[in-house]
Amino acid sequence: MSRQDYEIVMGLEVHAELSTKTKIFCSCPTEFGGEPNTHCCPICMAMPGTLPVLNEKVVEYAVKAGLATNCEISKNSKNDRKNYFYPDLPKAYQISQFDKPLCENGYVEIEDDNGEKKQIRLERIHIEEDAGKLNHNEFGGGSLVDLNRAGVPLIEIVSKPDLRTSSEVEKYLRKIKSILEYIEVSDCKMQEGSLRADVNVSVRKKGETKFGTRTEMKNMNSFRSIVRAIEYEANRQIDLIEEGGVVEQTTLRWDDVSGRTFSMRDKEDAQDYRYFPDPDLVAIRLSDEYIENIKNSLPELPESRKARYMDKFGLSEKDSKLLTSSKYLSDLFEGAEKICKNAKAVANWILSDISKMLNEKEMEADQIPFTAEDLAKVIELIDKGTISSAIAKRVVVELFENPRAPEVIIKENGWIQISDEGAIKEVVLKVLEANPQSVADYKGGKDKALGFLVGQAMKETKGKANPGMLNKMFLEELKK
């Protein structure tokens, strides 16, 4: 049988660090970085006699996430101990939620590979504490533990096995990331580990209803790596089945350099963790009023912004969808538009040159190194005729490479647009004299020759000539 005879079945467990100022059960700071073991205390180091106290903001943020993803909010939930050997959690267990999570039975909507709307069901969203970090020293022959991250609050968003392709997984993850950014419960900085996913993959022959044996790839924090890992693991399982082998339920590690998965351990089931209610923490009771107040405080979500951009600014559905796919891009658009009052120009710059630079540099939108004010200034300088669009493209590159005020970039590089009629006419006459064949082509009815001549003039002036004036003067001279 071929690869096309099989179907991939996937479910994800997305972990998002919450943007609270303090940890889930103590008052230690959650900020990223810092010298090892400087953001910890006797509670998150599990010293004897210490007691955890639940951070109320963690519950609020989890409920926000649940409401934004169409979940039912539980009025009665609790914290449980998940027993497992965690070398980077001093308690040797994790405080999580088992049978009574805060949020259940939600969904997010994506487009499948055919462009059709598809709901990805969410089984649950629960709160738990993050683990610390092991720093392995291959030369010293040991590992050192940094507990700064231990106790940082997480929500875990568990989907049903509704995903069927790697592109669906990427769309789903981007949608989750976008929602969490919009409601401001997590910064979702994947490069810092604020958003990561465990990907469960199984395969089955098309038409079958029974799920295959799944494997789980742990702690993945790159869209590109997740897509590559899914494709590799699915093909590995198919090849194994075709050769008469059996897929084993295993926890895997993805190696991005070799492009392969490696077994870490047998995959655990719930019973292996020996969950029981944490005796040091009281149950969580939420009132209808509490839930309603959080619901009313939710900010504008991507779908609503998309509709507003189409209605208020006259943007296409496609452009509006791309702009609102990331809160950072959407905020950049709104901030720049508010200053320069040119929505279509701002959208064009974000969706063309800025998006191109992000792709080339493999950066996320939250890593854009300049402000909405800088982008608005570039557009205003074009509108005033101070710089051409060609020069503006070079300014944007500079804003990525070495961000500073656009006016400073232009001044340093001598990029102010030439709008002096005498200087431009001199260039026009020089280009006409050097290209008699193009002149003859234009007069013979080949309109494209004009574009060539204008291009030569822009090249002569290093992109600084006013293109409108160039066109006008070339036409005047060619009609003589």
| Residue 417 confidence (pLDDT) | 72
| Residue 430 confidence (pLDDT) | 87
Please give the Cα distance from 328 to 346 (Å, whole number).
Answer: 14
| Residue 33 confidence (pLDDT) | 83
| Residue 140 confidence (pLDDT) | 65
Strands (E), 18-170: 72-73, 76-77, 80-83, 93-96, 103-111, 117-129, 133-137, 142-146, 153-159
First vs last C-alpha separation in the chain: 72
> Residue 238 belongs to what H/E stretch?
helix 223-242
Report CA 76 to chain centroid distance, whole Å: 33
* Count of alpha carbons within 13 angstroms of residue 192, beta-carbon side: 18
| Residue 469 confidence (pLDDT) | 80
| Residue 138 confidence (pLDDT) | 67
| Residue 213 confidence (pLDDT) | 92
Q: Which of the residues in the chain have pLDDT under 50?
A: none
| Residue 267 confidence (pLDDT) | 53
Structure tokens at 439: 């002149």
Please give the Cα distance from 120 to 106 (Å, whole number).
Answer: 9
CB 131: neighbour CB atoms within 10 A? 19
Report CA 13 to chain centroid distance, whole Å: 16
Q: What DSSP state is assigned to residue 4?
A: G
| Residue 137 confidence (pLDDT) | 72
Instruction: Name residue, tokens 């700064």.
Output: 148
CB within 8 Å of 432: residues ≥ 6 apart: 439, 453, 474, 477, 478
Report CA 291 to chain centroid distance, whole Å: 28
| Residue 471 confidence (pLDDT) | 80
Strands 215-220 vs 250-255: parallel, antiparallel or unpaired: parallel
